[in-house]
Structure 1
Amino acid sequence: MSVAVVTGSAGLIGSEAVRMLTSSGYLVVGFDNDLRSKFFGPEASTRPTLRRLSTDLGASYVHHDVDVRDREAVGAVFRRYGKDIAVIVHAAAQPGHAKWSMGDPIEEFEINATATLGLLEAARQWCPEAVFLFCSTSKVYGDRINSLPMRELATRWEIEAGHEYQNGVTETMSIDGSTHTSLGMSKVAADIMVQEYGLHHGLRAAAFRNCVIAGSAHAASKSHGMLGYIMQVVARRRPYTVLGYGGKQVRDVLHVSDLVRAFAAVIADPHPGAVYNMGGGRYSSCSVLEAIRLAEEISGHEVTLSFEEQTRVGDHIWWIGSNELFQRHYPDWAPEYDVKAMLQEIYDVNDGWRTQA
């Protein structure tokens, strides 16, 4: 049986990848030690998702409570399965962009960059024919986007009409000369490693530069998981504090199932060394204010808002990525969910929030 290795296997992206791969006939081996609860608090723990995976998938999923920085433990798994490993999805990370992202840059680099190098080397040594998919981030571009001409509208910031990035930022945007935070710079390092191993070391490796990924299983927190956290706050009728830009900062949002369908396309026909901006594009984008209003409409509750002028370091005022390159390589793929559909799903599935109001 072909084996797939998924890191961060109990997280939003990792768990969705696990389900897709087991349904495709793979034995999936997962790494996840719930560091997310350390980063973002107990409500962000991935343990409930892990229990669901184990219950639903049985022997098709083998879990290792392993830190991806532990090269010996990771290497032992790669040695055990060897060339039976056909797919690696590397979704483990420290993904937060707020206080933690400047709190311990050495640990953050070890998690996001050094661990990626260890996985690439393990793949090169034990399963060089495997497809290696890396979850990068739009934060690799730093805050360069903020230097582009923007105009302020009633509920969002918007790039000037006619700008070359009007339909989304392409992979040609420079990553140099901008503020990244330790999240962005550690992900840049990992992103470049994945490209290097794909282009020059023979691995069938690709990087996905995601923006906001959403889904009903997300253990969202204030510091990570924008859409899920907004819906959670509104459903529980709690106050919400908007950080910077008057809540008009824009993100594109991609449903995790749409992302995992993109993974499946690359697994079937990889382009070694490819880098893809990956998101909802203009089809699925919103400002913080717009997401809050949609959540209020869905739940029937109004939220009490407060505003802080201070923005997060390196935060994007506007980000809509272009899927053009990916769709050129994989023309049958397109996002299916829009922002309202994602919020509705999150609200419907997490009905326990309403009892906590």
Structure 2
Amino acid sequence: WEIDASHAFHDRGIDETMSIDGCMHSIFGVSKASADLMVQEYGRYFGLKTACFRGGCLTGAGHSGAELHGFLAYLMQCTVTGKPYTVFGYKAKQVRDNIHSSDLVQALWRFVQAPTSAAVYNIGGGRFSSCSMLEAIDLCQKRAGRELNWTYSDDNRAGDHIWWISDISKFQADYPGFELQYDIEAVIADLHDNGAERWEALAS
């Protein structure tokens, strides 16, 4: 799926101004939002050097993905091992950005070098490293050299986003020079090349 070209979030993705009110969230999502507010509060109230990094899909070599969390690692694992995979809703066209752990660590390190109080940043792969579910399946199959055994369910997960691409320009403005290194194909390659042997051994 794609949002309308005239939408404010189209070019760069969703920024930190997007409201979380008046919509459904997962319990998992709410737990992150409550921690986010607490970190902001300690920054503002006590002047501590704190930052909230609102991540897109975080992944990388060694990621132990599961069916409901860490979808890209789990998708690659299922592709490699032949384990059945279920896509939930949205015609498998839901979109996510994916940030490699190495890129995230670089962002965290830059903040540690020059911290501020109560900072809030969206941090994800942006349009540089994003894909739909269908695109992710295709990329995993090509890298693994085999077909994914997948089925489709019309029922999307409650509170699940149909489209999420993070706008990281606020962080880049505050920390000039930060650039993502891993695009979606590089993320997929890293997951496969560092996980395939381990997953195959566990499956046997």
Query: Normalising by structure 1, what TM-score?
Result: 0.55
Q: Secondary structure at the match of 2:37?
A: helix
What percent of counterpart residues are identical? 46
Q: Secondary structure at the match of 2:2?
A: strand
Alignment deviations for residues 103-141 of structure 1 (CA, whole Å, 9 cap, x no partner): xxxxxxxxxxxxxxxxxxxxxxxxxxxxxxxxxxxxxxx
Amino acid at match of 2:134: L
Matches within 5 A, 1:112-127: none
Amino acid at match of 1:352: R
Runs of 4+ in structure 1 displaced over 6 angstroms?
none
Residue 250 of structure 1, CA deviation: 0.4
Amino acid at match of 2:57: V
| 1:286 is aligned to 2:152 | no
Matched positions, count:
201
Cross-structure match for 1:265 = 110
| 1:170 is aligned to 2:15 | yes
For residue 26 of structure 2, the aligned residue among 166, 181, 184 is: 181
| 1:203 is aligned to 2:41 | no
Q: What is the alpha-carbon distance in structure 2 between the residues aligned to residue 341 and residue 185 of structure 1?
A: 31
Q: What is the alpha-carbon distance in structure 1 between the residues aligned to residue 46 and residue 200 of structure 2?
A: 51
| 1:251 is aligned to 2:96 | yes
Q: What is the alpha-carbon distance in structure 1 between the residues aligned to residue 32 and residue 189 of structure 2?
A: 31
Q: What is the alpha-carbon distance in structure 2 between the residues aligned to residue 219 and residue 186 of structure 1?
A: 21
Q: Does structure 1 conserve the Cα–Cα contact (< 8 Å) formed by 2:96 and 2:165?
A: yes
Residue 326 of structure 1, CA deviation: 0.3
Residue 308 of structure 1, CA deviation: 0.4
Cross-structure match for 2:140 = 295
Matches within 5 A, 1:60-139: none
Alignment deviations for residues 159-185 of structure 1 (CA, whole Å, 9 cap, x no partner): 111210012101011121111122222
The higher radius of gyration belongs to: 1
Q: What is the alpha-carbon distance in structure 1 between the residues aligned to residue 172 and residue 45 of structure 2?
A: 24
Q: Where in structure 2 are there 5+ consecutive unaligned residues? A: none
Q: What is the alpha-carbon distance in structure 1 between the residues aligned to residue 150 and residue 25 of structure 2?
A: 28
| 1:345 is aligned to 2:170 | no
Cross-structure match for 2:5 = 161
Cross-structure match for 1:214 = 59
Structural RMSD (CA): 1.3
- Structure number with the bigger relative contact order (C-alpha 8 A, sep ≥ 6) is 2
Q: Secondary structure at the match of 1:322?
A: coil
Query: Normalising by structure 2, what TM-score?
Result: 0.94
Residue 203 of structure 1, CA deviation: 0.4
| 1:324 is aligned to 2:172 | no
Q: Secondary structure at the match of 1:193?
A: helix
Q: What is the alpha-carbon distance in structure 1 between the residues aligned to residue 33 and residue 68 of structure 2?
A: 20
Q: Secondary structure at the match of 1:344?
A: helix
Residue 186 of structure 1, CA deviation: 2.3
Q: What is the alpha-carbon distance in structure 1 between the residues aligned to residue 26 and residue 57 of structure 2?
A: 17
Q: Does structure 1 conserve the Cα–Cα contact (< 8 Å) formed by 2:26 and 2:160?
A: no
